[in-house]
């Protein structure tokens, strides 16, 4: 299929990031506007009771390009990480059902999953894939301990018998990925077996970048579609059973045993919605985040915004649990454009939704009392926004300095604080805790804010002499945080590392932070 059927602004953003040079600023650095604008001028250090320390930090990778995309905490307090590896020597410690690296396709990558103890000791690992390109983007663990993942896969992936889509149907995603479909899997909690694994896709080439699970262990995934090749029965009776525009977002509920698509719906207007979507679920509904070019997206009374303000805005929807009703729909953005990528949506116990991403808008709708009310600088800032259970805007703040910044992963910690990961190329990105010696083209960051987005509790900048990106995060009941991503730095800060040496062009990283006291 043509490769320009929908926009892919993240690729351009990351290309720009790789070209930007920045320098490391120490704790309590000057803020995004150099003391002269609406940004954070200084950050007070966290109280001793709020400080975070690095419990361990490690590389994860072989000799080629490897990355960690997401993490989840298990009921036992261990955690799992997922991503992709193009390295035949990728580490596969401990037990597991598959440590082999399949080759032979036009584009080769294996999806991986590893489990660690809180102290950073590997428990088990698996490399999962066929001869083509595979990657896990999202992972969640149920209260019963089962592991659910989503991602992308090529032809000849080892899907299991009896699943809802055993046959590959994907389109060409270009030379890096070749032909691709979305992917959804369930694994045993001890990593000993694949319970089921299925494709999710048509002749489009879009992955399933995020995953959520409900109390019954049903699975929710998100993607997009521009080809109308899905079975119509999946969409029958849903909120939007047919595609409206050039490419619409898609959200689907899959049965816990992987045998059925219980429902699926499009969400879209007359133009493009992206495949870089996020999904969450609670007892009241299913939350979806995308970004859109459409001026006619469905909105509801009380929404944060009912108007497309820029060339792209974020769009947040809440659907009923049966997929038939739009409970709320809202735009969110300024006049210059916003974008998302993966895992950029979180929901608290009260049903408030928190979203992050990247904005080029100097008029993004921040609110009174925001931690950073003013735009830090071109070309982009990160941001966090909090929406009410009916889609109204409660709070919003920028997060960024005078160069390129973006939010990537977001979660809620045990105290209800908001935890954000991402990347910065801004020399003046404000920090208040030491975190090694960053200073490459871009550095990863981890920021924790109060629930009202009025105060930055912790701001840490991680990295080395190369480029570093914070991807997913996971929060635990003991207030610890698992922070993952990718790095090209040979001097990433290590602490109790399973793999202390940088392996290839790009390695994954895994960091666990814990309260100091």
Q: Residue 162 falls within a domain, yes or no?
A: yes
Residue 405 lies in a domain: yes
Is the confidence at residue 516, as pLDDT, over 80?
yes
Handedness of CA 423, 429, 431, 436 (dihedral sign): positive
Do 266 and 235 form a contact (C-beta atoms < 8 A)? yes
Give the gyration radius of the chain's Cα atoms.
21
2 within some domain = no
Q: Copy the structure tokens of residue 512.
A: 């666990």
Is 184 a member of any domain? yes
Q: What tens digit of pLDDT does each residue of 23-55 get?
A: 222 223 333 333 333 455 579 999 999 999 999
Residue 13 within any structural domain of the chain: no
For residues 252-275, average pLDDT: 97
300: domain CATH number is: 2.120.10.30
Q: What is the pTM of this model?
A: 0.93
3-state helix, strand, coil split of the chain in percent (to 5) is 5, 40, 55
What domain range includes position 59?
Answer: 27-515
Taking alpha carbons only, the member of 26, 14, 12, 17 closest to residue 438 is: 26
Residues 140 and 220 sit within 8 Å (Cβ to Cβ) = no
| pLDDT tens digit sequence for 420-469 | 999 999 999 999 998 777 777 899 999 999 999 999 999 999 999 999 99
Give the Cα separation of 156 and 165 in Å (integer).
13
Neighbours of 95 (CB within 10 A): 15
The answer to whether residue 4 is domain-embedded is no
Q: How far apart are CA 110 and CA 101, in angstroms?
A: 7
DSSP 48: G
Q: Is the pLDDT of residue 231 over 50?
A: yes
Position 20 in a domain: no
Q: Please tell me the total count of domains within the chain.
A: 1
Point out the least confidently predicted range of 28-42, 126-140, 326-340, 374-388. 28-42
Q: What is the pLDDT of residues 109-139, one digit of tens each?
A: 999 999 999 999 999 999 999 999 999 999 9
- The number of beta carbons lying within 10 Å of the beta carbon of residue 421 is 28
φ/ψ of 333, rounded to 5, equals 170, 180
What is the distance between the alpha carbons of residues 199 and 76, in angstroms, rounded to a whole number?
30
Q: Is residue 105 a contact partner of residue 180, using CB atoms and an 8 Å limit?
A: no
3-class state of residue 17 by DSSP: helix
Within a domain: residue 352?
yes
């Amino acid at each position: 299929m043509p490769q320009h059927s929908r926009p892919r602004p993240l690729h351009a953003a990351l290309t720009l990031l790789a070209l930007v040079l920045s320098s490391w600023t120490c704790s309590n650095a000057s803020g995004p506007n150099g003391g002269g604008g609406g940004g954070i001028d200084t950050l007070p250090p966290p109280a001793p009771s709020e400080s975070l320390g690095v419990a361990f930090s490690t590389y994860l990778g072989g000799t080629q390009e490897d990355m960690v995309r997401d993490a989840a905490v298990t009921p036992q307090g261990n955690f799992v990480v997922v991503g992709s590896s193009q390295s035949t020597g990728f580490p596969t410690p401990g037990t597991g059902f598959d440590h082999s690296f399949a080759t032979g396709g036009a584009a080769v990558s294996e999806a991986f999953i590893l489990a660690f103890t809180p102290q950073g000791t590997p428990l088990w690992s698996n490399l999962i894939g066929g001869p083509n390109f595979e990657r896990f983007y999202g992972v969640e663990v149920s209260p019963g301990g089962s592991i659910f993942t989503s991602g992308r896969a090529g032809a000849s992936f080892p899907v299991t018998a009896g699943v809802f889509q055993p046959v590959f149907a994907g389109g060409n995603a270009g030379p890096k990925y070749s032909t691709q479909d979305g992917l959804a899997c369930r694994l045993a909690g001890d990593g000993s077996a694949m319970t089921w694994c299925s494709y999710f896709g048509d002749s489009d080439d879009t992955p399933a970048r995020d995953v959520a699970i409900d109390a019954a262990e049903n699975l929710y995934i998100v993607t997009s579609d521009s080809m109308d090749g899905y079975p119509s029965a999946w969409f029958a009776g849903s909120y939007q059973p047919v595609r409206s525009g050039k490419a619409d977002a898609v959200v689907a509920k899959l049965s816990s045993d992987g045998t059925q698509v219980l429902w699926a719906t499009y969400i879209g207007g007359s133009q493009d919605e992206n495949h870089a979507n996020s999904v969450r679920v609670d007892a009241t509904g299913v939350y979806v985040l995308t970004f859109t070019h459409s001026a006619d997206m469905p909105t509801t009374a009380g929404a944060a915004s009912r108007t497309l303000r820029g060339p792209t805005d974020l769009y947040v929807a809440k659907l009923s649990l049966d997929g038939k009703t739009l409970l709320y729909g809202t735009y969110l953005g300024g006049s210059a454009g916003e974008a998302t990528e993966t895992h950029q949506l979180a929901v608290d116990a009260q049903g408030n939704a928190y979203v992050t991403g990247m904005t080029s808008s100097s008029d993004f709708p921040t609110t009174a009392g925001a931690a950073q009310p003013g735009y830090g600088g071109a070309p982009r800032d990160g941001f966090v926004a909090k929406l009410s259970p009916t889609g109204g805007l409660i709070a919003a703040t920028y997060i960024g300095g005078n160069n390129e910044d973006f939010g990537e992963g977001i979660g809620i910690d045990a105290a209800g604080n908001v935890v954000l990961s991402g990347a910065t190329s801004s020399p003046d990105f404000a920090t208040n805790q030491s975190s090694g010696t960053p200073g490459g083209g871009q550095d990863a960051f981890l920021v924790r804010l109060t629930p009202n987005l009025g105060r930055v509790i912790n701001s840490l900048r991680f990295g080395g002499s190369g480029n570093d990106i914070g991807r997913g995060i996971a929060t635990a009941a003991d207030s610890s945080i698992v922070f993952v991503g990718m790095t090209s730095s040979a001097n990433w800060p290590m602490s109790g590392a399973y793999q202390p040496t940088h392996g290839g062009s790009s390695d994954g990283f895994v960091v666990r932070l814990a309260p100091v006291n």
